[in-house]
Amino acid sequence: MIRTLRLIVLTLACAAFPLGTTGCASSVAQWIVQTRNHQGDVALSHKNYPDASVAYQLALKIEPANQHARAGLTNVQVRIAETLFAASKFEDAIAALALASRFSPADDRVQSLKAAIEQAQIKRDIVVSNYPQYQVTGTSIQRAYGQLKQQNAEILAALRRFDYTYDTADLSVAIRQSYALNEEITRLTNRLSQYRQLVESGIPEHGTNTIAPPSSLLPLP
């Protein structure tokens, strides 16, 4: 509201003094740039990156050389690109960085993240070529590891019960569940090892899940 009133006052002042048209126009433009930068800063502080990006871009439409807007937009676009990268949306992440490069072509963060994404694209192509079903298998393994939280929670619950029951039967329950958890972890570790080998070396032409010797195409750590 205060910012809007300031704009009205500036506009009325310009109308009252036509001889100062150039100066008034400059003042209004500067006010708009400051307002957009403020909006971008607030959105950024709340991690609302899309709105922050729009605000900084609007500021730069009026004043392309504004350093605050340039720095803010670069920071926001890097954050957006990181989020897209983590979601495997490589092309969208590259596009987000391209916008940042327009205003900060020498920014190390932009160049470093772009290189990391391009390397990930190459590795993805190799993985897909070797093992087209990698995503389905990987998601299944992640889900299985997520279920271990429930088993761990049951062990902790049994131990907490013993804290007030002092019944060693609760400890026996915890021990049995711990053995079961350990067996499941061992099984999943073996499955994870097989998954890595399939990703690295691929599936034989006439096989489905046969484990081939690891190749050097994708030397995963």
Q: What are phi and psi of 203, to 5 degrees?
A: -105, 130
3 state DSSP class of 10: helix
184, pLDDT greater than 90: yes
pLDDT, tens digit, for every residue of 86-142? 999 999 999 999 999 999 998 999 999 999 999 999 999 999 999 999 999 999 999
Q: DSSP of 78-142, one letter per residue? A: HHHHHHHHHTT-HHHHHHHHHHHHHH-TT-HHHHHHHHHHHHHHHHHHHHHHH-TTHHHHHHHHH
Tell me the C-alpha to C-alpha distance, in Å, between residue 170 and each of 149, 151, 182: 19, 15, 18
Report the chain's terminal Cα–Cα distance, integer Å: 56
> Which pLDDT band, with edges at 50, 70 and 90, does 203 fall under?
confident
2, pLDDT greater than 60: no
- Compute the Cα dihedral for 64, 65, 68, 71 and give only its sign: positive
Give the residue from 21, 1, 36 showing the smallest Cα distance to 11. 21
Does pTM top 0.85 for this prediction? Answer: no
